[in-house]
C-alpha cells in the first residue's frame, strides 16, 4: 500500500497471516503457533470486511427495507471475498502444505486474505484494510453493475473507436471454477477482472478498464455514467416535539459517546421503533426520519467487529497458543444486545406505538445496535480503541459460548440427522412475528418436528434460537419428559414437571 510503512512487527504478523493451517501443521510449528490463531485472524478479518462494506454502502445507498440492505450486503460480501482471494492467488501470498498445493480450493486463498485483514485490524490499521479492499475490489464505493447500463456496454461505447477483445483463463478445480478475463483495446490499453463465470469476469474486466481511463469514459459517453440508483437521503433531524424522555435520552447518548449535538437526528432515528414510524408517518417525514431497522443492521455488524477485536486482543495477549475455548468467537445474541440496551437505559427514550411497550427484547436489542451504528458513523475505527466505559465493560463481559442453533447443528451432524428450519410469519409489516419449526430426519427417514411459540413479536433469529433451545432442553432432560413418536412422524412432547 503506497504511503504506508508497515514496520517490522506488523510485517511479521502479516507473514503469519499468509500461513494456511495445513502448512502450519506440516512445518511442525503448531506447538509454537496453534491453528486457532489463524482462525481468530480470519474471524476478525471477516467482521472488519463486513463493516468496511457496509460503511461504503451506506454512503451512497438508501434501501427501502433492512432486508434489502441485508441481501445486497451478502451479495457484495461474496464478490469482495472472491476478489480478495484472486488477489492472494495472483501474488502468491499463501503458504500451504505440499498436499494442499496440488489442488487448492478457492476458500484457502479467501481465508488467507481475511487473515491479512484481521492482522491489519489487530495492529490498528483499519484504514489500511479499507484501502486494500478498495484497491482489490473496485466496486466497494458503488453498485457492482452501475445503474441502468452494465460495464461491458459502457466500455464498448467508450472505447468503440479502439475496439475491444476479451481473453479468458480458467482457474481452480471443477467444483470451484474461477474465471479471469483480460480486456485489451486496439491501442494497447489493458485491464483484468475475475468472476465465478465468464460473464462476471468480463464485467469485472470492463469495469476495471473504465476505472483505469475515466477521461475516456467521460469524453466518449457522458450520458452513460454508472451512478448509484438510490442516492443517500438528507440527514435526519430531531423531532420537534418528541417528549422529555426521548429528548433526554438522545442528549445523554450524545454526551456518553461524545457525538455532539449535530448527531441528535441520527440518535433520534436509533430510538425510533418501526411501530412508532408507522403510526406517525407525517411527523417522521417532516423530520426526514425513518425507523431504526437499517441502522440496527449496520450496528449488528459493528457490534460483532468490536466484540471480535476485543476477543482477539485478549486471546493473543499472552502468546500464540490459545486453545479452542480461548479462540471461540460468535456473534452477539439478541439477549446480549438487549442487556446493552438496558444498561444504556434506552427503554426510557425509545419511541414506540401505543400498542408496543418498548420493553421487548427485540425492540431494545435493535435500538442498542442502532446506537452503536450511530457512534461508529461519527467515530469510525477510533471506537476500536476508545469508547465509553459502559460499552467497553459490556464487550469485555460477553461470553463467547456456543449458541443453541450451533449446538443443535453440531449434534445433528454427529448423529447423521438432517435438519432444517421453516418459518411462519404473522402480523403487519411493522409488527411482524415469527414462529420457527425444526424438522429432523433420522437415519430411518422419519421426520420429527418441534415448534416453540414465543409471546410478543419475536424476530426470525430470536424465534430460531428459542426453538433450538427448547429442543435441546428436551433432549438433555429425558427423565422429566415423555416423548411419543406419532404415526405421522411428529414428536409429541409432554413435560411431566410443568406445562
pLDDT for 317-338, tens place per residue?
A: 888 888 777 777 777 888 899 9
Q: Are strands 178-185 and 190-195 parallel, antiparallel or unpaired?
A: antiparallel
pLDDT-based confidence at residue 302 (cuts at 50, 70, 90): very high
54-58, 127-131, 219-223: segment of lowest average pLDDT: 219-223
Residue whose C-alpha is closest to residue 93's, from 38, 14, 164, 11: 14
225 lies in a domain? no
Q: What b-and-e string marks burial along 219-252, b requiring 16 or more CB atoms within 10 Å of the CB?
A: ebbeeeebebeeeeeeebebbeebeeebbebbeb
Q: Which domain holds residue 188?
A: 151-220
Q: How far apart are CA 68 and CA 424, in angstroms?
A: 20
410 lies in a domain? yes
Would you say residue 92 has pLDDT above 60?
Answer: yes
101 & 20 share domain? yes
Q: What are 24's three cell numbers?
A: 502450519
Q: Which of 120-124, 223-227, 471-475 has the highest mean pLDDT?
A: 120-124
40 & 156 share domain? no
380 & 458 share domain? no
142 lies in a domain? no
Q: What b-and-e string marks burial along 73-105, b requiring 16 or more CB atoms within 10 Å of the CB?
A: beebbebbbbbbbbbbbeeebbbbbeebeeebe
370 & 443 share domain? no
Chain segment 340-369, per-residue pLDDT in tens: 999 999 998 999 987 776 678 889 999 999
Q: How many CB atoms lie within 10 A of CB 37?
A: 24
Higher pLDDT, 141 or 230: 141
Higher pLDDT, 238 or 175: 238
- Rounded to the nearest 10°, the torsion over CA 85, 86, 92, 94 is 10
Q: How far apart are CA 145 and CA 295, in angstroms?
A: 25
CATH of the domain at 113: 1.10.1520.10
191 & 160 share domain? yes
76 & 30 share domain? yes
pLDDT-based confidence at residue 477 (cuts at 50, 70, 90): low
2 lies in a domain? no
1 lies in a domain? no
Whole-structure pTM value: 0.71
271 & 391 share domain? yes
Q: What is the pLDDT of residue 392?
A: 93
Among candidate residues 396, 430, 457, the one where a domain is terminated: 396
Higher pLDDT, 22 or 400: 22
pLDDT-based confidence at residue 223 (cuts at 50, 70, 90): very low
| Grid cell 448423529 in the structure block, residue | 415
456 lies in a domain? yes
25 lies in a domain? yes
415 lies in a domain? yes
57-61, 258-262, 297-301, 411-415: segment of lowest average pLDDT: 411-415
366 & 281 share domain? yes
82-96, 358-372, 378-392, 416-430: segment of lowest average pLDDT: 416-430
Among candidate residues 85, 112, 136, the one where a domain is terminated: 136
According to DSSP, residue 188 is labeled: S
CATH of the domain at 199: 3.30.160.20
315 & 412 share domain? no
Q: What is the mean pLDDT of residues 1-17?
A: 89
250 & 390 share domain? yes
Residue whose C-alpha is closest to residue 363's, from 346, 343, 383: 346
Q: What is the mean pLDDT of residues 474-478?
A: 69
Among candidate residues 78, 104, 136, the one where a domain is terminated: 136
384 & 254 share domain? yes
How many structural domains are present in the chain?
4
Amino acid at each position: 500500500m503506497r504511503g504506508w510503512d508497515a514496520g517490522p512487527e506488523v510485517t511479521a504478523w502479516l507473514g503469519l497471516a499468509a500461513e494456511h493451517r495445513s502448512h502450519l501443521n506440516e512445518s511442525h510449528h503448531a506447538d509454537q503457533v496453534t491453528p486457532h490463531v489463524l482462525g481468530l485472524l480470519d474471524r476478525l478479518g471477516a467482521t472488519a470486511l463486513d463493516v468496511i462494506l457496509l460503511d461504503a454502502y451506506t454512503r451512497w445507498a438508501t434501501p427501502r427495507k433492512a432486508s434489502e440492505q441485508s441481501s445486497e450486503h451478502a451479495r457484495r460480501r461474496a464478490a469482495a471475498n472472491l476478489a480478495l482471494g484472486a488477489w492472494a492467488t495472483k501474488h502468491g501470498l499463501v503458504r500451504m502444505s505440499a498436499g494442499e498445493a496440488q489442488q487448492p480450493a478457492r476458500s484457502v486463498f479467501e481465508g488467507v486474505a481475511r487473515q491479512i485483514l484481521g492482522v491489519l485490524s489487530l495492529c490498528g490499521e483499519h484504514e489500511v484494510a479499507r484501502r486494500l479492499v478498495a484497491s482489490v475490489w473496485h466496486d466497494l464505493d458503488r453498485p457492482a453493475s452501475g445503474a441502468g447500463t452494465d460495464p461491458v456496454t459502457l466500455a464498448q461505447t467508450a472505447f468503440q473507436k479502439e475496439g475491444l477483445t476479451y481473453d479468458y483463463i480458467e482457474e481452480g478445480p471443477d467444483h470451484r471454477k474461477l474465471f479471469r478475463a483480460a480486456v485489451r483495446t486496439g491501442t494497447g490499453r489493458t485491464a483484468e477482472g475475475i468472476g465465478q463465470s465468464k460473464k462476471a469476469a468480463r464485467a469485472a474486466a470492463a469495469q476495471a478498464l473504465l476505472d483505469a481511463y475515466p477521461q475516456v469514459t467521460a469524453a466518449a459517453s457522458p450520458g452513460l455514467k454508472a451512478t448509484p440508483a438510490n442516492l443517500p437521503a438528507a440527514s435526519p433531524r430531531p423531532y420537534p416535539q418528541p417528549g422529555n424522555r426521548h429528548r433526554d435520552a438522545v442528549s445523554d447518548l450524545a454526551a456518553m459517546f461524545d457525538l455532539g449535538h449535530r448527531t441528535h437526528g441520527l440518535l433520534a432515528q436509533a430510538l425510533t421503533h418501526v411501530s412508532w414510524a408507522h403510526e406517525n408517518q407525517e411527523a417522521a417525514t417532516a423530520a426526514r426520519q425513518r425507523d431504526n431497522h437499517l441502522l440496527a443492521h449496520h450496528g449488528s455488524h459493528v457490534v460483532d467487529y468490536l466484540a471480535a477485536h476485543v476477543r482477539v486482543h485478549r486471546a493473543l495477549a499472552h502468546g500464540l497458543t490459545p486453545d479452542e475455548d480461548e479462540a471461540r468467537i460468535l456473534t452477539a445474541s439478541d439477549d446480549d444486545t438487549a442487556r446493552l440496551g438496558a444498561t444504556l437505559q434506552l427503554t426510557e427514550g425509545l419511541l414506540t406505538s401505543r400498542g408496543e411497550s418498548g420493553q421487548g427484547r427485540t425492540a431494545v436489542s435493535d435500538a442498542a445496535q442502532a446506537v452503536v451504528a450511530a457512534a461508529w458513523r461519527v467515530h469510525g475505527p477510533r471506537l476500536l480503541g476508545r469508547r465509553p466505559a459502559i460499552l467497553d465493560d459490556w464487550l469485555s463481559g460477553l461470553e463467547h459460548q456456543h449458541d443453541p442453533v450451533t449446538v443443535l447443528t453440531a449434534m445433528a451432524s454427529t448423529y447423521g440427522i438432517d435438519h432444517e428450519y421453516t418459518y411462519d410469519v404473522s402480523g403487519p409489516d411493522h409488527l411482524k412475528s415469527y414462529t420457527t419449526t425444526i424438522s429432523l430426519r433420522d437415519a430411518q427417514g422419519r421426520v420429527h418436528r418441534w415448534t416453540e411459540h414465543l409471546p410478543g413479536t419475536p424476530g426470525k433469529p430470536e424465534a430460531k434460537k428459542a426453538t433450538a433451545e427448547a429442543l435441546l432442553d428436551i433432549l438433555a432432560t429425558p427423565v422429566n419428559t415423555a416423548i411419543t413418536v406419532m404415526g405421522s412422524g411428529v414428536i409429541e412432547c409432554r413435560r411431566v414437571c410443568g406445562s
